[in-house]
Structure 1
């Protein structure tokens, strides 16, 4: 049962941050096939989430990100992760770990999905872990 009522904007922040992480990891290893494998792997983490995190991450449309400017995406996504945790701490503190686990799992699965974790993906994962600390 979902007990917290999040505004549409708050839900969008949580979703954009989580999917933005997957975008950053996927962008760290070029190639269409790699991107598809990574997206599928990450989606499994989102559908396997529990509670409010699952509801937010598996409902509605997908956020759009600029294709040519991963730096801009990173500058938006990492602060959005911290903001997402603040939203959950204020409105649904019992859901913070569910969300954190889903995002970290999606990032890790995406990084491992195509030829293992490369150095660029490892650097993205470190930034994501720091933002979620």
Structure 2
């Protein structure tokens, strides 16, 4: 089965996935190295396969991930995670699992140098809940 995603659908997946790494990086700014978190997480997303991998091979526009606060970024990213998961569950359930796995693997890769701080662990929980809310 071949699934075709609109440009908007692809953008939603990118904002959700790369936004999750952005949120974790912002949450880790107080106790670690946000650039290393962002780099390691983004590299992991670039290793995704299947339809999700093809979509995530293109990075979203920076304006889609910017915000004046973590809350402002979360207001855009968390709903995008839920929407991306929902649209994939409806159209290609195996790709929904692939998307979830890619995002959670990226978060794990982003925290492999040191255990997540309590703030980062809370952000990982929020991201996981957003993906699973669909």
**Interval containing the TM-score (normalised by the shorter chain):** 0.7 to 0.9
> Which residue of 1 is the match for residue 69 of structure 2?
69
Give the Cα separation in 2 of the matches to 1:75 and 1:20.
11
Deviation at 1:35, TM superposition (A): 2.2
> Which residue of 2 is the match for residue 106 of structure 1?
106
| Number of residue pairs the alignment of both structures matches | 130
5+ unaligned residues in a row in structure 2: which ranges? none
Deviation at 1:67, TM superposition (A): 4.0
**RMSD of the TM alignment (CA)?**
2.0
1:12-51 deviations in whole A, cap 9, x for unaligned? 00100111111110001227x8122112211232122110
Q: TM-score, normalised by structure 2?
A: 0.86
> Which residue of 1 is the match for residue 58 of structure 2?
59
> Which residue of 1 is the match for residue 95 of structure 2?
95
Q: TM-score, normalised by structure 1?
A: 0.86
Give the Cα separation in 2 of the matches to 1:45 and 1:58.
11
> Which residue of 2 is the match for residue 22 of structure 1?
21
